[in-house]
Structure 1
Amino acid sequence: MQKINRDQKVRHFHQAKWDEPIIFELHKSGERGVTLPMVEESIEYHVGDGVSAIPAEMIRKRKPNLPEISQNRILRHYLRLSQETLGAAFNVEIGQGTCTMKYSPKINEAFASSAKMTELHPLQDVSTVQGMLEIIYKLDLCMREISGMDYFSFQPGSGTQSLFTMASIVRAYHESRGEGEQRNEIITTIFSHPSQAATAAVKGYKIITLYPDKDGFPDIKKLKAAVSDRTAGFVVANPEDTGIYNPRIKEFTKIVQEAGGICYYDQANANGLLGITRAKEAGFDMCFFNLHKTFSTPHACGGPATGALGVVDKLKEFLPGPIVEKQGENYSLNDNLTHSIGKVRSFQGVPQTVLRAYAWIRSLGAEGLKDVAKVAVLNNNYLYHKILKIRGADAPYIKGKRLEQVRYSWEQLTKDTGVTTDDISHRMADFAHHYWSSHHPYVVPEPFTLEPTESTSKADLDEYIASLTYISNEAYTNPEVVKSAPHNSTIHRVDEQDFFGNPEKWAITWRSYLKKIKKTETINS
């Protein structure tokens, strides 16, 4: 038996591997997890059996194709699957690219899963949901204080949908002034999130992209050359996805606004800014925060999420309705916004996400939020200076201090050894770490983007750094070990180009899988 050195920071790890079928393959006709009792006679006498009164047009012609399985087998199935994954509750999580990943207090999960929340229905009368409307309204007030904006909507279901909503408001604003056709250009930067350009393009805008100067800041000379009477708006993240904060941002917003454009701010990751800088003072007309990032509500495997969208007073009437307002002691939904772009999502978004964020803010208070930013920046700069000492690693552009995250590069290591950032990503899984490369296309060569947040302890950071250092040493001494990783994971490598790039091999539901299997069998026969 191998003796484990507890002083060694690189952790011994081997992930559980189960030859586990998907749940539909575990189906056994007639097997049940729960058997529901028949309706009691006294109840049926007064209200019926609960089925007969359903209108015929609402009754399925065929029963849904759901797996039939016992309680113990379904428990075993999902517990096995939970052992075959990595996650923030299992391992040291140092960010997910540009997505902030932090610890979510479990008491907030208890709030969100209480019957008072889970039994809410979006069609309830306003008088019966005063408590939830109060929480939405008070979170709005918190967000106003944090950002300097005047009104917030929590309707968008993600950061990308918030960006789409803001692009829609930009278009509606210019159309209301008779300049909709004339102002057809949106300016952004190459290191802002790809969704900024994509959502503006969906709204029909021509995209003008600013590239960085020698230090990694957006080039202000190129901005001045780009603005014109065709400029509809300017959208940027600050700090950008490199972790570099642009201290001249107010000059940028002033240039665009003097040309008649609207400035909107991607603050999906505002972890290093809370209580320190605000969108208002930077000159922005709109901003959004991802509640599932900065404000500690779980990502939940891509949803449910909330993009908290704030605007200055002149854009209030363009918000998606309704917005929550307070009248006396009561809360109401205002759907009478003069220039509203209309709904971008049904009802009021995800109340459980709003509740978690509100509880997190209230538990910290103003000084606590500022401490979050200070510790996040401290953790990030500790990680930054340690990683720059690892052989083959670098962080392009300005040296010294970064804000809440850094986009690093293994370019030198790849040139020296042939080991790529994707290889290192797979090898990190062998040490129970999640590692994120970056957005494609790779503007920074062989990138990896890390954000430790305020949740990560020094011991956690040291373990993560030790694993990266260990893998760098492997790359220089035995690169095939890294190139052939993972070795301790549940599966080996998937050919991403052949599988993820080929829709013919996708099956997102059991029904589509069966269709593809049948199609394949027909072709082969």
Structure 2
Amino acid sequence: MTRTSLTQLEARDGFIPRHIGPSASEQAAMLSVLGYASRAELIDAVVPANIRRKDELDLGQFFEPLPEQAALAKLKGIAAQNKVMKSLIGQGYYGTHTPPVILRNIFENPAWYTAYTPYQPEISQGRLEAILNFQQVITDLTGMGIANASMLDEGTAAAEAMTLIQRVGKSSSKVFYVADDVLPQTLEVVQTRAKPIGVEVRTVAAADIENLAETCFGVLLQYPGVNGDVRDYRAAVEKLHAGGSMVVVAADLLALTVLTPPGEWGADVVVGNSQRFGVPLGFGGPHAGYLATRDEYKRSMAGRLAGVTIDAQGNPAYRLALQTREQHIRREKATSNICTAQVLLAVMASMYAVYHGPQGLAQIARRVHRYTGILAAALQGLGFQLANDTYFDTLTVIADNADDIHRAANDNGVNLRRIDARHVGISLDETIGRGDIALLVKIFGGAADAIDFDTLDKDAQDAWPAGLARTSAYLTHPTFNRYHAEHEMLRYLRALADKDLALDRTMIPLGSCTMKLNATSEMIPVTWPEFSDIHPFAPSDQTVGYTEMIAQLEAMLCAVTGYAGVSLQPNAGSQGEYAGLLIIKKYHESRGEGHRNICLIPSSAHGTNPASANMVGMKVVVTACDANGNVDLVDLKKKAEEHSANLACVMVTYPSTHGVFEEGIKELCEIVHAHGGQVYVDGANMNALVGVAGPGLFGGDVSHLNLHKTFCIPHGGGGPGVGPVAVAAHLVPFLPNQASTGYQRNEAGIGAVSSAAYGSASILPISWMYIAMMGAEGLTAATETAILNANYIARRLAPHYPVLYTGHDGLVAHECIIDLRPLQDATGISNEDVAKRLMDFGFHAPTMSFPVPGTLMIEPTESESKAELDRFIEAMICIHAEIVKVERGEYDRMDNPLKGAPHTAEVVTADDWQHTYSREVAAFPVPSLRKKKYWPPVGRADNAYGDRNLFCGCAPIEDYE
């Protein structure tokens, strides 16, 4: 018997083989199919030598991988440096109770957090219903006609609202007014967004809105204001409308359960944040922002929109509606680059409303307001005056000894809002009890045991204008009035999750989207109180652990990319792109070359690229691709020369959007640099580079990364995401600040692009854990295995489907594109038919028609085992055989298993079977499905019907009567 060494025994505790799917023997078998002796030999053949790293990836203290428990212990030690306080700072962020049934069965449940964007609706019915619930919550509470599937945060929602009303309004003015009691971080994001598109943002005293005489295209109001005031804006809005201006209102959802909604007093758009509906503070995110507007503006509204349609059998089905208005289709004509919602967090917020129902929400709101009134009376009894005589949950206390009060508060484990030397802000929330009120009275110098709660309660009155008490009903739909018992709620959540396909069931082989393992050990720290219960504007001495973890993650990402600096503020890939282009713009301006505004973008680029360039005021010039899918360097050079005086940058994805390592990437960088431009390397395909090459090492100046792709933050059904921006040394001074909260990296930096300084900070531990547990060796192995898996699939499928673009020796990068157009021409079977048929095999489809119409782009990632790859290959070969039968006439061109897919259990078991192919072929095309079968809950969704008959809320009440 061969003796195992201690080193070998210790290695078996490692995370790397748990993350990487194929074992050494499986990799050897796949390599033999490709004709290579080792993984290293394959990588040498795939990756151009001129971009390969010269040295091993240097991760410093994280060079050697940490076992899972060691990584958790190390991160726990870092987290322990944070101080968890009772934060009553407000400013848009509140303490909340996440109902445990939601915490366990959504937030901590891989069936919800590992799902992808519901672009394939038939296998996404559960989360689409949950999104529809969210939209219904928003429309009901705001009093508006339609709401989208969520926004990134409140600040970006307000910025999108500003551009929306500029597009749909009739005013030619370029002026946008913001009330002076709008959340400071929202104002800053709006200012950042406004400047490059020529919008002038001015502030106006909230009290003077009615007297605003200047012409403007719109006004942004806060309801209630940051200092607590609840203002009656009805007369002001009427006057603004008469003058041709439109009105955006940022509103607190909990307050809207008791206050007249903005839709009832004239708002054109309502935006905000759903964080206090059961989503932890998380140092600023992720949280689901929202945007609601009038029904007539639905086709101009940014973001995703869930709607109702019918399936092939005429049954109701959910889908994403009006997709042709989204950025990935409109490209340079897009009005927004948003391609991410905050689905997981929107689902949590929607289920918080489902769990509590309208009566429960109103009870929480009234309790919060009552405590606020009692506290106000108690403080006034101590001789303090309030700066606001109307309020919902926030008091601004006039106090000459403000610094002393803050010291006393901190000594007692409480954070209050630091306004200035004479004003202290207090925002109460649902976590407050009588003991907290007594403690606050003590902090302000009173006797904690002297409060007569019963007397103060009896005397308390609603502290908002009488005309603003809500009288309209909301959340009347049965969904919000049925699941208040935990047993019912649990079963509802399980029933929804059972309808969907996520990574917990199957490989999701989406090209460009990198659906890889989101390991449990990576997810655990997200719910630690030391990370989840920290207010984004807490004093810096309470966030030492966060800043240490963030600094370490920034250093990790710099090492991986070869760049000099990273900002984690952008809370989506679209935001990272936008920030990167703003940085380039600011750099040119700093050199007296602000006229540089031409952005070269290859025709194959992701749709966000031209949309982002548009948003920063750049002019897009499209460059050609050659027959092999590579950037046509002759055309690029010609256009760089033509626009040399005004060239700002090029935006290029690497490896290419076609899934190939282009040999000419370094030459491309040299061409653009020679004409004074910067090179933006889209980081969407970073999973093919980590440890092997780095964009900052082969000529890139700036990149955004997708932590929800390469670095294991889960997609959450279409969000959360994190899109940090990484830059070369000369661009570091221009990384984003957040001046409104005192966060400044460099005075030259761009303004804030998200509402919190570190964006979606609470999910950053996921990527920290991934890199710490993988180390340099594991990260490199992951990249190499992702490339191996993709080439294995491409080689196995090549006899059945043409692989559209390849490099040396017919090899691809981390993804491959298979071309179905010849088959469609011969049989009428489309890539959509193949996508729907894959559902019958229990698979999510690859990416459809991107970047080439009529194709499927497949990315297996490194996390899938050979067995799972083979299961997918078997399904695709079986589908090809079915297409051949159509071609031969053995199956009818319209009545065949592909056109009929997906097949529901109801269809397969119905007494009436009208198809010319058998039930067995429909349901069990391969034998393994008899033991493990996923049944799509609906038949093929009718997209055209859904857009013609747009309905984006819960079913009408009469459907339940």
Taking structure 1 as the reference length, the TM-score comes to 0.84
SS at match of 1:56: coil
- Give 1:452's match in structure 2, choosing from 860, 864, 869: 860
Q: CA deviation at 1:149?
A: 0.9
Q: How does 1:507-518 map to 2 (within 5 A)?
A: 507=952, 509=953
Q: CA deviation at 1:74?
A: 1.2
Tell whether the 8 Å contact from 1:396 to 1:409 is kept in structure 2 after alignment: no
Q: CA deviation at 1:386?
A: 0.7
Q: Sort the Cα spacing of 1:376 and 1:42 in 2 relative to 1 into closer, same or farther, 3 A.
A: closer
CA distance in 2, matches of 1:103, 1:82: 19
**Equivalence for 2:803:** 394
**Equivalence for 2:876:** 468
Q: CA deviation at 1:142?
A: 0.6
* 1:156 pairs with 2:575: no
> RMSD over aligned Cα, in angstroms?
3.5
* 1:407 pairs with 2:821: no
Tell whether the 8 Å contact from 2:124 to 2:501 is kept in structure 1 after alignment: no
- Give 1:221's match in structure 2, choosing from 634, 637, 648: 634
* Code of the aligned partner of 2:700: F
SS at match of 2:669: helix
* Code of the aligned partner of 1:385: R
Q: Sort the Cα spacing of 1:55 and 1:120 in 2 relative to 1 into closer, same or farther, 3 A.
A: farther
**Equivalence for 1:522:** none
* Code of the aligned partner of 1:460: E
- Give 1:144's match in structure 2, choosing from 555, 558, 561: 558
* Code of the aligned partner of 1:447: T
**1:40-70 Cα distance to aligned partner (Å, 9 max, x none):** 7998774776996999349983499452422
* Code of the aligned partner of 1:135: M
* Code of the aligned partner of 1:505: L
Tell whether the 8 Å contact from 1:257 to 1:263 is kept in structure 2 after alignment: yes
**Equivalence for 1:418:** 828
Q: Sort the Cα spacing of 1:276 and 1:97 in 2 relative to 1 into closer, same or farther, 3 A.
A: closer
* 1:129 pairs with 2:543: yes
Tell whether the 8 Å contact from 1:292 to 1:353 is kept in structure 2 after alignment: no
SS at match of 1:275: coil
* Code of the aligned partner of 2:564: D
CA distance in 1, matches of 2:452, 2:763: 38
**Equivalence for 1:184:** 597
Q: Sort the Cα spacing of 1:270 and 1:58 in 2 relative to 1 into closer, same or farther, 3 A.
A: farther
Tell whether the 8 Å contact from 2:814 to 2:861 is kept in structure 1 after alignment: yes
* Code of the aligned partner of 1:98: S
* Code of the aligned partner of 2:597: N
Q: CA deviation at 1:118?
A: 1.5
SS at match of 1:454: coil
**Equivalence for 2:489:** 74
Tell whether the 8 Å contact from 1:156 to 1:308 is kept in structure 2 after alignment: yes
**Equivalence for 2:765:** 355
SS at match of 1:271: helix
- Give 2:505's match in structure 1, choosing from 62, 77, 90: 90
CA distance in 1, matches of 2:436, 2:491: 39
**Equivalence for 2:708:** 292
Q: CA deviation at 1:28?
A: 11
CA distance in 1, matches of 2:848, 2:819: 10
CA distance in 2, matches of 1:303, 1:179: 37
CA distance in 2, matches of 1:151, 1:29: 46
Tell whether the 8 Å contact from 2:511 to 2:815 is kept in structure 1 after alignment: no
CA distance in 2, matches of 1:280, 1:54: 61
CA distance in 2, matches of 1:121, 1:114: 14
Ranges in structure 2 where 5+ consecutive residues have no aligned partner: 1-121, 138-353, 368-431, 439-447, 886-890, 905-935
Q: Sort the Cα spacing of 1:350 and 1:220 in 2 relative to 1 into closer, same or farther, 3 A.
A: same
CA distance in 2, matches of 1:97, 1:206: 28
SS at match of 2:848: coil
* Code of the aligned partner of 1:78: L
Q: CA deviation at 1:246?
A: 1.2
CA distance in 2, matches of 1:42, 1:216: 64
Q: Sort the Cα spacing of 1:41 and 1:210 in 2 relative to 1 into closer, same or farther, 3 A.
A: closer
Tell whether the 8 Å contact from 2:577 to 2:612 is kept in structure 1 after alignment: yes
SS at match of 1:133: helix
**Equivalence for 2:744:** 335
Q: Sort the Cα spacing of 1:75 and 1:140 in 2 relative to 1 into closer, same or farther, 3 A.
A: same
Q: Sort the Cα spacing of 1:16 and 1:419 in 2 relative to 1 into closer, same or farther, 3 A.
A: closer
Tell whether the 8 Å contact from 1:32 to 1:71 is kept in structure 2 after alignment: no
Q: CA deviation at 1:247?
A: 2.2
**Equivalence for 1:373:** 783
**Equivalence for 1:209:** 622
- Give 1:108's match in structure 2, choosing from 506, 517, 522: 522
* 1:497 pairs with 2:944: yes
Taking structure 2 as the reference length, the TM-score comes to 0.47
Tell whether the 8 Å contact from 2:805 to 2:816 is kept in structure 1 after alignment: no
Q: CA deviation at 1:30?
A: 9.3
**Equivalence for 1:56:** 463
CA distance in 1, matches of 2:736, 2:486: 44
Q: Sort the Cα spacing of 1:185 and 1:487 in 2 relative to 1 into closer, same or farther, 3 A.
A: same
SS at match of 1:215: coil
Tell whether the 8 Å contact from 2:574 to 2:608 is kept in structure 1 after alignment: yes
CA distance in 2, matches of 1:333, 1:41: 32
* 1:245 pairs with 2:666: no
**Equivalence for 1:326:** none
Q: CA deviation at 1:78?
A: 1.0
* Code of the aligned partner of 2:593: E
CA distance in 2, matches of 1:132, 1:395: 45
**1:476-497 Cα distance to aligned partner (Å, 9 max, x none):** 2235210111103111122223
Q: CA deviation at 1:194?
A: 1.4
CA distance in 2, matches of 1:426, 1:205: 39
Q: Sort the Cα spacing of 1:306 and 1:468 in 2 relative to 1 into closer, same or farther, 3 A.
A: same
* 1:307 pairs with 2:723: yes
CA distance in 1, matches of 2:828, 2:791: 28
* Code of the aligned partner of 2:567: S
**Equivalence for 2:290:** none
Whose helix proportion is higher, 1 or 2? 2
CA distance in 2, matches of 1:372, 1:55: 59
Ranges in structure 1 where 5+ consecutive residues have no aligned partner: 1-13, 324-331, 519-525
SS at match of 2:705: strand
- Give 2:735's match in structure 1, choosing from 308, 319, 326: 319
SS at match of 1:346: coil
The structure whose Rg is larger is 2
CA distance in 2, matches of 1:450, 1:55: 58
Q: Sort the Cα spacing of 1:426 and 1:41 in 2 relative to 1 into closer, same or farther, 3 A.
A: closer
- Give 2:649's match in structure 1, choosing from 224, 233, 241: 233
* Code of the aligned partner of 1:76: R
Tell whether the 8 Å contact from 1:287 to 1:311 is kept in structure 2 after alignment: yes
**1:94-144 Cα distance to aligned partner (Å, 9 max, x none):** 2x2311100111011111112222211101111001001101000011111
Q: Sort the Cα spacing of 1:476 and 1:172 in 2 relative to 1 into closer, same or farther, 3 A.
A: same
CA distance in 2, matches of 1:177, 1:482: 58
Q: CA deviation at 1:188?
A: 1.4
SS at match of 1:429: helix
CA distance in 2, matches of 1:316, 1:58: 49
Q: Sort the Cα spacing of 1:218 and 1:77 in 2 relative to 1 into closer, same or farther, 3 A.
A: same
Q: CA deviation at 1:439?
A: 5.0
Tell whether the 8 Å contact from 1:379 to 1:454 is kept in structure 2 after alignment: yes
Q: Sort the Cα spacing of 1:429 and 1:261 in 2 relative to 1 into closer, same or farther, 3 A.
A: same
- Fraction of identical pairs, as percent: 28
CA distance in 2, matches of 1:117, 1:170: 33
Q: CA deviation at 1:396?
A: 3.9
